[in-house]
Amino acid sequence: MTCILGLETSCDETAAAVVRDGRHVLSNVVAAQHKLHERYRGVVPEIASRAHLQNINPVVHEALDQAGVSLHDLDAIAVGHRPGLIGSLLVGVSAAKTLAWASNKPLIGVDHVRAHLHAATLTPKMVSDTVLSDSSEHSGGGPLTFPALGLVVSGGHTSLYAMNSPTDLTLIGSTIDDAVGEAYDKAAVILNVGYPGGPKLDKLAQTGNPKSHDLPRSMLGKDSLDFSFSGLKTAVLYTVRGHPKGRGAAARFQRSVEDLTEQQITDIASSFQAAAVDAVIKKLKRAVQHMTDQDQPPRSLVIGGGVSANSLLRTRVAELGKQLDLAVRIPAFAYCLDNAAMIAGLAHTHYQSDDFADLDLPAIASGSI
């Protein structure tokens, strides 16, 4: 039995968690920064880094207290060290190194993006807790069957992986411009629905008409597994404000979002969500066929990242799994957004392989191993 403390500070969530045997969550503490960034309608890296410095010690102490363990009881210290905002990452990596050195415990570096896929295997501490779990039959808590097709959808990533194991992943597709979560956030700004934009737009879209506007689904080449959402974002802008007249600084739009009715805004939100999710589902179908053509037909489909909490995406992925006879694994809601339980969970696999890091473990801003 292993007990690992995980730290996560890749963006604007300061998180610490204790996980037993890679799946059983004993604690999962997250200090969010939404109020700090709300006025900017996006994450400000310098503000995020300073907040991590203030939050990291209290969050670690709370995670240990909730789990009922001390540093002495742990088998290892894990930290998400790539990719992310460099200033934010440095806070978590420095804290993890200090804890590992002070407690004489092994240090494990974990790739943040890959950890999002492991999140689907986590078992919530209390299944009755509505914050930590949800009622979907596909939501977390189960082992993965390999080979698997993995999809990470978040504010910074939209990536497809052929998975042979939790750590043996091959990138087969990614976005060439905006990530789907970034497109959600930008559409939310255009529609003025508030911050954080993704969840608010999702809620608004559920009451609109998804067929009210024919927004683009970018497929790129006929066999492409890559994504593109910049065209969809621009289409939303023009739908709301009309096509601009003039060029550069002299360009002027025909109207603003304030000129639209609430129903018009709701319908645009719903049409945007339908287009974004439809593009993702179509690429998932292509990816399944691609893996099959490579004599590696997937046995399961696993989704992770903040956008995996999206209501329409969860529904459409579940339907796709039934259509293609694939086991579907989606994280419980608490493990969709950035969290440390997924870091500590995936670290268990590294621990079993004696895959430890030295105290010179770097924080790496870009790229995913």
pLDDT tens track for 299-332: 999 999 999 999 999 999 999 999 999 999 999 9
The predicted structure's pLDDT at residue 134: 43
What is the model's pLDDT at position 133? 35
Are 3-126+338-352 and 148-331 equal in CATH topology? yes
pLDDT at 141: 63
**Sheet of 169-174, strand order:** 169-174, 158-163, 148-153, 300-304, 327-329
Q: What pLDDT is recorded for position 294?
A: 96
Q: pLDDT tier at 85 (50, 70, 90 boundaries)?
A: very high
Q: Scanning the structure block, which residue is given the tokens 């920064």?
A: 33
Least confident of 42-46, 218-222, 259-263, 359-363: 42-46
Mean pLDDT, range 96-123, rounded to an integer: 97
Domains of the chain, by residue range, sit at 3-126+338-352, 148-331
Q: What does CATH list as the number for 148-331? A: 3.30.420.40
Q: What percent of the chain has pLDDT over 90?
A: 83
Orientation angle between helical segments 262-293 and 180-191, nearest 10 degrees? 170
Mind listing the pLDDT tens digit for each residue in 125-171? 653 333 333 434 455 667 899 999 999 999 889 999 999 999 999 99
Per-residue pLDDT band for 37 (boundaries 50, 70, 90) equals confident
Residue 207 scores a pLDDT above 80: yes
Q: Which of 33, 43, 52, 62 is nearest to 90 (CA)?
A: 52
Which residue, 83, 122, 151, 134, is CA-closest to 4? 122
Q: Which of 29-43, 94-108, 266-280 has the lowest mean pLDDT?
A: 29-43
Q: 147-161, 244-258, 327-341: lowest mean pLDDT where? A: 244-258
Q: What is 3-126+338-352's CATH number, 1.20.1730.10, 3.30.420.40, 3.40.50.620, 1.25.40.10?
A: 3.30.420.40
Host H or E run for residue 265: helix 262-293
Q: Answer positive or negative: Cα dihedral of 212, 185, 179, 318.
A: negative
Specify the pLDDT at position 92: 97
102 alpha carbon, distance to own chain's centre: 31
Q: In whole numbers, what is the pLDDT of the chain averaged over residues?
A: 92
In this prediction, residue 139 carries a pLDDT of 58
Q: Which residues pair with 158 in a beta bridge?
A: 153
Distance between CA 356 and CA 350 in Å, rounded? Answer: 7
Q: What pLDDT shows up at residue 32?
A: 84
Mention every residue, 6+ apart, whose C-beta is less than 8 A from residue 6: 15, 16, 17, 18, 19, 78, 79, 80, 110, 340, 341, 342, 343, 344, 345, 347
Element (DSSP H or E) covering residue 7:
strand 3-8
| Amino acid letter, residue 271 | S
Sign of the torsion formed by the C-alpha atoms of 332, 334, 336 and 338: negative
